[in-house]
């Protein structure tokens, strides 16, 4: 396992489409022995799809992949493992069996081998497990049940199991997302050790501190393409720039200042340790909440919509305290929210466009609890026209629409009735540019009678729709800017936390 | 300090990518036809074959006795359809019906009370059992199959406790040695035995009315829409503002209520609190509801399909009985039909999609 620096994986011109979504576009990527390659990008940038192609979950549509000079095309994760590519997925619990002991987990591949022995001896399993952990110099409690272990130890078990196969490439997907500082430090030490042994490590993370500590090289993906590559010394502002976009659409519109204040947030602390902040959202303005993943954007929105509780602080809507203990209560209080990940959080896949659109407001279309088809259809048809939703009819299943049109249906749903605060969490994920513009246009057209908060990590998208951009970092709002005369550099510095802390306006 | 800008007006360029949606369903292929109408055609063929083999099969009286035999199963199946719609399941319907049968007998024969009270007690009991199921599933977080399985066993035992495990009949000896003074009232027995125009059995009418009401509730009311939405995507439905927990509990209450109506009709027909009467109800009604998935290519639990499914099972069993098929062949045939119906719904449909 010598020759550090030699390429293990060579990817050229890789493409992958899912229906109308072009998830990976013409990607070239090299992974070298004995280096930690940080793969970065916002949600939906194409990282996960690229990784899934690498580890054999999805076949690529076109392009070539070479491992040690040999062209490969994996048809299953098993084939990728056989070729020396091992992955530890983000959700650790998918990679370990809770009910078994640590030793059994370590030896799991041995146990599951079809040609393996029928009867298992405890001592053989323990011996194999000791062998595996010796490779890594670990000292794990072999006899304990997996469920008794902390997150970091589980992670180490999953990694140890992957390493027992002597991998050429180890892919770590967000390994520190649920680890404490001390646990992460233990993991970093292990990764550095592996690097020294010549293993190529692909490290996916949004945490800048991880990247600082570990990465030899960073590749940034955005909208399905690899946008930039950075070598040591890494330019962190440059990385954030590449992730959130360079091209800011200046002058698409000038900022609307907003009239009276609708939402007043005071001394708001999301967690016991995060800094409290104040925030006003005004009628008629579109406010974009931006920040890196893990900055607390969604958590903040969930407090407003009643699916999470804040640690401290008050929220009033039109001067009245908002008491949202559930989405039902939030909607009744005039707060509407379209969640991130429309497939899981918004749409009922068995339902038609019509039925998906009107789901929250059936009461308004009902007489004596019976749905009046005419009223319901009229409301949906209006939204289809206003948002330029492309569908053969409102009765087709929602799944037959493209991602962008599905997202328009989600927005249309919440525009059927007027509200005081409309929250959209990452409305442009998996949405093509045409649909994105339609959504942005409609959002601004309808903004007059309400406050609008859009969560959006991509600054290019953010500046298309925003009157004001507020930045969140470490679960607190750290800055706010009008889009007029926006300084991208100041914004990026605030997002990544490298610049001086701007005072919140 | 705002810099007024020349507005380049981003033109909402129409993305061409989305137009192909749904373009592929122009022609109704043979496969589509089979998936949609297969079960109804088989039902029709079955009736014709039985009629050719045994002409007595097709006279009006026999047709209505098929419907009468089906009505109890159908009522239970309609109830379980609601729980299937929320992607749940109710295994306790059979024993809820049996419980209702024993309870009505107990109220009339042993407590010597009237028809109205007997019916009321059963309905309340059914709804209460459903409520308990719902609470166990929603608040207790027990998986639906397990919660209702537990309830099934619980009820099987519970219904026998008041009488010490014996069937309830007029004049039976009670535990204190005296004879039971009450009896089934004529009005109660009429619920299971009266025939309108001397032809149409009352249970059939009750079942049809219940089916129509449930159809309107599930297909036309906003409540039904939300129930189906919960079955499709519970999280999305909750985030759309629906009180999902209450809906789920209500679904199990409807299931329990329908099962208790089935139990009342059964008690009225047999005229005694027979401890074994309800034994085959669960499987027959679940089969009916699942066969219903295949009716008109619905691929989901639906009221019309369930009614047809119950009719299908009833017709098959009646025809086989008339042809002197042995009793054990009936269960075999039922199982066979169910497996094929499920294959229609899931196997063929999914291979078509890929």
Tell me what ipTM this predicted complex has.
0.81
Task: Report helix, strand and coil shares of chain B as percent, to nearest 5.
Answer: 70, 5, 25
pLDDT at residue A505, rounded to an integer: 31
Number of Cβ within 10 Å of residue B160's Cβ equals 15
Q: Does A392 touch chain B (CB under 8 A)?
A: yes
Set of chain B residues whose Cβ sits within 8 Å of the Cβ of A438: 12
DSSP for B176-215, written as a single string: TSPBP-----HHHHHHHH-EETTTEEHHHHHHHHHHHHHH
Does residue B343 contact residue B94 with C-beta atoms inside 8 Å? no
- Most A CBs within 10 A among B21, B220, B231, B237, hence the mutation to make, goes to B21
Contact A434 B13 (CB under 8 A): yes
A389: nearest CA partner in chain B: B18
- Whether B239 sits inside 8 A of A413 (CB atoms) is no
Asked if the C-beta of A346 comes within 8 angstroms of chain B's C-beta atoms, the answer is yes
Contact residues, chain A, for B22 at CB < 8 Å: 391-393, 396, 400
> What strand order describes the sheet that includes A217-222?
A85-88, A169-173, A200-204, A36-40, A217-222, A225-231
Of B13, B15, B300, the CB nearest to A350: B300
- Listing DSSP states for A324-378 in one string gives -SSHHHHHHTTEEEEPSSHHHHT--TTSBHHHHHHGGGGGGGEETTEE-HHHHHH
The string over A266-295, giving b where at least 16 C-beta atoms fall within 10 Å of a residue's C-beta and e elsewhere, is eebbbeeebebbebbbbbbbbbbbbbbbbb
Mention every residue, 6+ apart, whose C-beta is less than 8 A from residue A58: A16, A49, A52
**What are the angstrom distances between the C-alpha of B28 and each of A59, A258, B31, B343?**
32, 54, 8, 20
pLDDT at residue B348, rounded to an integer: 62
- Structure tokens belonging to residue A65: 């992949």
Q: CB distance from A434 to chain B under 8 Å?
A: yes
What is the nearest CA distance from A350 to chain B, expressed in angstroms?
A: 6
**Count of residues in chain A:** 505
- Asked if B127 contacts B190 with a C-beta cutoff of 8 angstroms, the reply is no
Place of tokens 């050719």: B52
* Assigned token pair, A172: 């770590």
DSSP state letter for B346: I
Does the domain made of A7-244 have the CATH classification 3.40.50.300? yes
Residue B129: predicted pLDDT: 96
Residues of A in contact with B7 (CB under 8 A): 251-253
Q: Are strands A85-88 and A169-173 parallel, antiparallel or unpaired?
A: parallel
Count Cβ neighbours within 10 Å for each residue of B285-306 and write b for 16 or more, e otherwise: bbbbbbbbbbbbbbbbbbbbbb
Interface residue A375 vs chain B (CB under 8 A) = no
Closest CA to B229 of A372, A326, A348: A348
The minimal CB distance from A402 to the residues B1, B18, B225 is found for B18
Per-residue pLDDT at B213? 97
Cα–Cα distance between A322 and A147 in angstroms, integer? 39
- The answer to whether the Cβ–Cβ distance between B2 and A369 falls below 8 Å is no
Neighboring chain A residues of B244 at a CB cutoff of 8 Å: none
pLDDT at A178: 65
> Please, what CATH class does the domain formed by B31-353 belong to?
mainly alpha
Of A251, A404, A484, the CB nearest to B7: A251
- Distance (Å, rounded) from C-alpha B191 to C-alpha B186? 9
- Helices vs. strands in chain B: H and E counts, helices first: 14, 2
Smallest CA–CA distance, residue A128 to chain B, in Å, is 37
In B, what residues contact A, Cβ < 8 A? 1-8, 10-15, 17-19, 21-23, 216, 220-223, 225-226, 228-229, 231-233, 235-243, 300
Q: Do B3 and A337 touch (CB under 8 A)?
A: no
Ranges of residues in chain B whose predicted pLDDT is under 70: 1-28, 278, 347-354
Q: CB neighbours (10 Å) of residue B212?
A: 12
Q: For the CA atoms of chain B, what is the radius of gyration?
A: 24
Express each pLDDT in A142-161 by its tens digit.
888 887 877 777 877 888 88
Nearest CA in chain B to A257: B2
Domain map (residue ranges) of chain A: 7-244, 262-334+420-435+448-500, 347-418
A contacts of B23 (beta carbons < 8 Å): 392
Q: Which of residues 465-484 of A touch B (CB under 8 A)?
A: 482, 484
Q: What is the DSSP string of B2-29?
A: -----------PPPGGGTTTTTT-SS--
Domains A7-244 and A262-334+420-435+448-500 share a fold: yes
Residue of A nearest to B26 (CA): A392
Contact between B15 and A432 using a beta-carbon 8 Å cutoff:
yes
The CB density around residue B159, as the number of other CB atoms within 10 Å, is 23
**Residues of A numbered 156-195 whose beta carbons fall under 8 angstroms of chain B's beta carbons: which are they?**
none
Question: For A392, which of B2, B15, B22 is closest by C-beta distance?
Answer: B22
Instruction: Give the CATH H-level superfamily of domain A262-334+420-435+448-500.
Output: P-loop containing nucleotide triphosphate hydrolases (3.40.50.300)
- Residue A107's pLDDT is 82
pLDDT at B18: 35
Burial classification of residue A368, based on how many CB atoms lie within 10 Å of its CB (0-12 exposed, 13-18 middle, 19 or more buried): exposed
Task: Give chain A positions within 8 Å (CB) of B21.
Answer: 390-392, 396, 400-402, 405
Q: Which helix (H) or strand (E) holds B255?
A: helix B244-270
Sort out which chain A residues have CB atoms less than 8 A from B13's CB and list them.
Answer: 433-434, 437
Chain B residues in contact with A391 (beta carbon < 8 A) = 18, 21-22
Mean pLDDT per 10-residue run, chain A (505 residues)?
69 84 87 91 80 87 89 86 84 73 82 72 82 76 80 78 84 77 78 89 82 89 86 82 67 73 92 91 93 86 92 91 90 94 90 95 92 93 92 90 89 95 90 84 92 90 90 90 82 72 36
> For A458, which DSSP code?
-
pLDDT given at position A246: 61
The span from the CA of B36 to the CA of B30, in Å, is: 10
pLDDT in tens, B151-162: 999 998 898 888
Q: Are B242 and A379 a contacting pair, CB within 8 Å? A: no
A172 contacts A192 by C-beta, under 8 angstroms: no
B346: left (phi over 0), alpha (psi -120 to 50) or beta: alpha
Say which of B8, B225, B233 has its CB closest to residue A349. B233
> What's the whole-model pTM score?
0.80
CB within 8 A of A5, min separation 6: which ones? Answer: A32, A33, A34, A35
Q: For chain B, what are the domain ranges? A: 31-353
**Residues of chain A neighbouring B240 (CB-CB closer than 8 A):** 327, 346, 359-360, 413
The token duo for A314 is: 């008050």
Residue of A nearest to B17 (CA): A20
Q: How far is CA B26 from CA A353, B21, B23, B32, in A?
A: 19, 12, 7, 11
Q: What is the pLDDT of residue A205?
A: 80
Contact list in B for residue A460 (CB cut-off 8 A) is none
CA atoms of B334 and B342, how far apart (whole Å): 12
Contact A232, A217 (CB under 8 A): yes
């Amino acid at each position: 396992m010598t020759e550090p620096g030699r390429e293990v994986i060579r990817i050229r011109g890789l493409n992958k489409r899912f229906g109308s979504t072009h998830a990976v576009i013409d990607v070239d990527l090299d992974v070298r022995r004995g280096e930690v390659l940080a793969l970065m990008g916002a949600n939906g940038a194409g990282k996960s799809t690229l990784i899934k192609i690498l580890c054999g979950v999805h076949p690529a549509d076109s392009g070539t992949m070479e491992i040690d000079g040999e062209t490969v095309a994996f048809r299953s994760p098993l084939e990728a493992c056989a070729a020396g590519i091992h992955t530890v997925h983000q959700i650790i619990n998918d990679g370990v069996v809770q009910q078994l002991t640590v030793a059994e987990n370590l030896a799991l591949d041995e146990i599951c081998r079809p040609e393996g022995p029928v009867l298992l001896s405890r001592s053989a399993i323990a011996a194999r497990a000791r062998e595996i952990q010796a490779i890594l110099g670990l000292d794990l409690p072999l006899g304990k049940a997996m469920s008794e272990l902390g997150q970091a130890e589980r992670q180490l078990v999953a990694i140890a199991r992957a390493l027992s196969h002597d991998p050429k490439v180890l892919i770590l997907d967000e390994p520190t997302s649920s680890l404490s500082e001390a646990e992460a430090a233990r993991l970093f030490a292990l990764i550095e050790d592996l690097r020294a042994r010549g293993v190529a490590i692909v490290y996916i993370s949004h945490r800048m501190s991880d990247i600082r500590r570990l990465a030899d090289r960073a590749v940034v993906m955005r909208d399905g393409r690899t946008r930039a590559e950075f070598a040591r010394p890494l330019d962190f502002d440059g990385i954030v720039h590449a992730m959130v976009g360079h091209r800011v659409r200046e002058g698409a519109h000038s900022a609307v200042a907003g009239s009276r204040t609708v939402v007043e947030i005071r001394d708001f602390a999301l967690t016991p340790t995060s800094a409290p902040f104040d925030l006003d959202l005004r009628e008629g303005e579109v406010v974009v909440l931006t920040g890196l993943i893990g900055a607390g954007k969604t958590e903040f929105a969930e407090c407003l919509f009643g699916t999470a509780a804040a640690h401290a602080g008050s929220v009033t809507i039109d001067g009245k305290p908002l008491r949202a203990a559930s989405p039902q209560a939030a909607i009744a209080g005039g707060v509407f929210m379209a969640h991130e990940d429309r497939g899981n959080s918004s749409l009922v896949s068995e339902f038609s466009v019509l039925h998906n659109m009107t789901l929250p407001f059936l009461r308004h279309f009902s007489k004596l609890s019976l749905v009046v088809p005419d009223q319901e259809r009229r409301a949906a048809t209006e939204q289809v026209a206003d948002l330029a939703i492309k569908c053969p009819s409102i009765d087709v299943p929602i799944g037959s629409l493209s991602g962008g049109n599905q997202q328009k249906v989600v927005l249309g749903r919440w525009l059927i009735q007027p509200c005081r605060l409309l929250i959209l969490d990452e409305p442009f994920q998996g949405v093509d540019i045409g649909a994105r513009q339609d959504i942005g246009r409609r959002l601004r057209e309808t903004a007059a009678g309400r406050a609008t908060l859009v969560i959006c990590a991509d600054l290019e998208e953010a500046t298309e729709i925003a009157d004001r951009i507020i930045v969140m970092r470490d679960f607190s709002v750290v800055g706010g800017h009008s889009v007029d005369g926006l300084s991208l550099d100041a914004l990026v510095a605030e997002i990544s936390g490298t610049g001086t802390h701007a005072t919140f306006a | 300090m705002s810099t007024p800008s020349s507005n380049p007006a981003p033109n909402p360029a129409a993305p061409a990518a989305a137009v192909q949606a749904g373009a592929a369903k122009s022609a109704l292929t043979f496969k589509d036809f089979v998936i949609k109408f297969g079960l109804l055609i088989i039902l029709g063929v079955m009736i014709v074959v039985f009629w050719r083999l045994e002409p007595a099969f097709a006279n009006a009286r026999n047709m209505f006795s098929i419907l009468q035999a089906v009505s109890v199963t159908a009522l239970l199946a309609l109830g379980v359809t609601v729980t299937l719609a929320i992607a749940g399941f109710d295994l306790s319907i059979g024993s809820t019906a049996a419980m209702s049968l024993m309870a009505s007998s107990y109220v009339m024969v042993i407590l010597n009370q009237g028809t109205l009270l007997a019916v009321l007690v059963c309905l309340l009991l059914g709804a209460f059992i459903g409520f308990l199921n719902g609470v166990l599933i929603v608040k207790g977080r027990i998986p639906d199959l397990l919660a209702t399985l537990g309830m099934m066993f619980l009820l099987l035992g519970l219904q026998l406790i008041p009488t010490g495990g014996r069937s309830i009949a007029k004049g039976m000896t009670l535990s204190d040695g005296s004879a039971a003074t009450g009896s089934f009232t004529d009005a109660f027995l009429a619920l299971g035995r009266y025939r309108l125009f001397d032809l149409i059995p009352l249970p059939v009418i009750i079942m049809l009315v219940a089916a129509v009401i449930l159809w309107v509730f599930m297909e036309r009311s906003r409540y039904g829409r939300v129930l189906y939405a919960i079955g499709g995507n519970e999280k999305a439905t909750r985030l759309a503002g629906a009180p999902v927990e209450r809906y789920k509990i209500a679904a199990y209450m409807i299931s329990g209520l329908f099962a208790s109506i089935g139990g009342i009709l059964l008690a009225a027909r047999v005229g005694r609190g027979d401890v074994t009467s309800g034994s085959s109800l669960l499987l027959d009604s679940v089969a009916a509801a699942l066969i219903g998935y295949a009716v008109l290519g619905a691929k989901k639990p639906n009221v019309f399909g369930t009614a047809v499914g119950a009719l299908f099972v009833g017709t098959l069993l009646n025809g086989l009985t008339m042809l002197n098929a042995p009793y054990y062949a009936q269960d075999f045939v039922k199982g066979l039909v169910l497996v094929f119906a499920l294959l229609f719904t899931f196997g063929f449909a999914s291979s078509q999609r890929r």
